[in-house]
């Protein structure tokens, strides 16, 4: 795929300049957040009725077997009962097959991952010299993407590996001894391996940023700049997210060449989520209020978000002491511990998962009935992504945000 022509208008490590005053780095990058700052309570945002809209049935322009994709990919989709693309897949795949730079925006749970993987896998099957680097903000999302590669590429010779922190680097180095078509990683571990000369950036012709709004946040941006400065000049860039503000969009456009901007958001990500607040005063026991909510009828599988690892650990122990089946994910746990916890929650062995923001984005966890923001999120985007873990696949979900208030309120 390396012969398509592009302008030399590309993003270099010196181009943007002036990005020295970083905001706190999101968890999943190098070092995690330091001293998280909560957003101010926004009752217009936190209190909403669910709005199940009877939308028109989507009729795609294509079926998967009409894109011209390799038949093995189509067969693998058919085995999973996928014949019709989702709106983001229907719009994005034809452009990616033409190697267009893309900004793709779509609701969570609408198939963004397959939208970029299918054409990239197809192009790799046509040219085994192709190399793709996919960057994600958290280890969990990176692992989920690599799992999807393995599923979609069954019965082919495509190879992939994952490079993330929290796992032994020597094992990742060993897997990199043989070239891989796809490398999926977090920026910190990727740069560690670049610095050790185990990953050669100039071998990649395609870079994907998943959850681009967080990847281009000031905490990650210096690492992204270093990576993009090292890859080929005629690189193919794909940026995907569920949310995008104007500032991040302008940064993204500086990096892209004549990008196709595709947005297929259908209403708000949170339309299927019944949202409310739990007000608490300094005199009240906040944990007891949480227990009351967890014991309400209909709470079958819940995620509780808090901003710090220390607080997550405290709540985990308290819930275990009360007899709840609970697991926790945070930066102090090894990757194998985090994976074990996530698997237990997905498989129903645990009904409650406690997490920092590492579980807020991109993770596909079925049948989450409730999300509890035990601490206020750090931004509106964090809030939207957190509560987007529930109300998926056309179901109604419930989200409660704990809001401190004075006694006189």
Q: Rounded mean pLDDT of 387-408?
A: 84
pLDDT at 218 exceeding the cut of 90: no
The percent of residues in the chain predicted with pLDDT above 70, rounded, is 88
What are the beta bridge partners of residue 373?
305, 401
Q: What is the pLDDT of residue 184?
A: 98
8 Å CB contact between 240 and 115: yes
Q: Nearest Cα to 122, choosing from 65, 83, 79?
A: 65
Q: What is the pLDDT of residue 268?
A: 56
pLDDT digits (tens, 9 = 90+) for 233-259: 889 999 998 888 888 889 998 899 999
pLDDT digits (tens, 9 = 90+) for 103-145: 999 877 788 999 999 999 999 999 999 999 999 998 889 999 9
pLDDT at 263 exceeding the cut of 70: yes
Tokens found for residue 317: 């122990």
Tell me the residue ranges of DSSP E strands in 5-146. Answer: 102-105, 132-135
pLDDT digits (tens, 9 = 90+) for 293-309: 999 999 999 999 999 99
Q: Nearest Cα to 227, choosing from 183, 263, 166, 172?
A: 183
- The rounded distance, in Å, linking the Cα atoms of 153 and 230 is 28
8 Å CB contact between 367 and 299: no
pLDDT at 326 exceeding the cut of 90: yes
pLDDT-derived band at 405, boundaries 50, 70, 90: confident
**Lowest mean pLDDT, pick from 275-279, 326-330, 383-387:** 383-387
Q: What is the pLDDT of residue 31?
A: 41
Is 57 buried (19+), middle (13-18) or exposed (0-12) by CB count in 10 A? exposed
Which residue reads 């020295």 in tokens? 20
- The rounded distance, in Å, linking the Cα atoms of 385 and 373 is 12
pLDDT at 6 exceeding the cut of 90: no
Contacts of 274 (CB under 8 A, 6+ apart): 48, 49, 50, 391, 396, 397, 398, 399
Q: For the whole model, what pTM was predicted?
A: 0.75
pLDDT at 147 exceeding the cut of 90: yes
Greater pLDDT, 245 or 197: 197
pLDDT digits (tens, 9 = 90+) for 8-47: 333 333 333 332 233 334 444 444 444 567 777 777 788 8
pLDDT digits (tens, 9 = 90+) for 273-286: 999 999 999 889 99
Q: What is the pLDDT of residue 9?
A: 36
Contacts of 277 (CB under 8 A, 6+ apart): 41, 43, 46, 47, 400, 401, 402, 403
Is 98 buried (19+), middle (13-18) or exposed (0-12) by CB count in 10 A? exposed
pLDDT at 168 exceeding the cut of 80: yes
- The rounded distance, in Å, linking the Cα atoms of 395 and 246 is 31
- The rounded distance, in Å, linking the Cα atoms of 263 and 106 is 6
pLDDT digits (tens, 9 = 90+) for 50-88: 776 555 678 899 999 999 999 999 999 999 999 999 999
- The rounded distance, in Å, linking the Cα atoms of 392 and 380 is 19
What structural domains and CATH numbers belong to the chain? 54-263 (3.40.50.300), 273-404 (3.40.50.300)
pLDDT-derived band at 336, boundaries 50, 70, 90: confident
pLDDT-derived band at 327, boundaries 50, 70, 90: very high
- The rounded distance, in Å, linking the Cα atoms of 384 and 396 is 15
8 Å CB contact between 204 and 131: yes
């Amino acid at each position: 795929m390396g012969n398509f022509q592009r302008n030399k208008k590309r993003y270099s490590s010196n181009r943007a300049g002036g990005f020295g005053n970083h905001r706190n780095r999101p968890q999943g990058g190098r070092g995690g957040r330091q001293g998280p700052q909560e957003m101010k309570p926004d009752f217009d945002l936190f209190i909403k009725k669910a709005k199940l809209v009877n939308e028109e049935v989507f009729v795609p322009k294509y079926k998967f077997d009409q894109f011209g994709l390799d038949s093995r990919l189509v067969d693998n989709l058919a085995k999973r009962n996928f014949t019709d693309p989702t709106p983001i897949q229907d719009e994005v795949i034809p452009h990616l097959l033409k190697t267009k730079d893309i900004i793709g925006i779509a609701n969570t749970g609408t198939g963004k991952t397959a939208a970029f993987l299918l054409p990239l896998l197809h192009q790799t099957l046509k040219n085994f010299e192709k190399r793709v680097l996919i960057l994600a903000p958290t280890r969990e999302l990176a692992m989920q993407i690599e799992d999807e590669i393995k599923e979609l590429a069954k019965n082919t010779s495509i190879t992939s590996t994952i490079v993330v922190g929290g796992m032994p680097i020597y094992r990742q180095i060993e897997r990199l001894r043989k070239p891989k078509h796809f490398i999926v990683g977090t920026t910190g571990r990727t740069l560690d391996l670049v610095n050790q000369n185990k990953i050669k950036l100039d071998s990649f012709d395609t870079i994907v940023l998943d959850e681009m709004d967080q990847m281009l946040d000031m905490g990650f941006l210096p690492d992204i700049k270093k990576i993009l400065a090292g890859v080929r000049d005629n690189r193919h860039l794909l940026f995907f997210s569920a949310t995008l503000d104007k500032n991040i969009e302008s940064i993204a456009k500086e990096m892209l060449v004549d990008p196709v901007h595709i947005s297929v958001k259908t209403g708000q990500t949170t339309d299927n989520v019944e949202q409310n607040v739990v007000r608490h005063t300094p005199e009240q026991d906040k944990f007891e209020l949480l227990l009351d909510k967890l014991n309400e009828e209909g709470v079958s599988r819940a995620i509780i978000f808090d901003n710090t690892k220390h607080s997550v650990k405290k709540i985990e122990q308290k819930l275990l002491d009360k007899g709840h089946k609970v697991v926790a994910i945070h930066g102090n746990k090894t990757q194998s511990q985090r994976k074990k916890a996530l698997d237990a929650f997905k498989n129903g062995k645990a009904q409650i998962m406690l997490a920092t923001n590492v579980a807020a984005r991109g993770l596909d966890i079925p049948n989450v009935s409730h999300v509890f923001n035990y601490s206020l999120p750090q931004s509106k985007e964090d809030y939207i992504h957190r509560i987007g873990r529930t109300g998926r696949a056309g179901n109604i979900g419930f989200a409660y945000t704990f809001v401190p208030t004075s006694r006189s309120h």
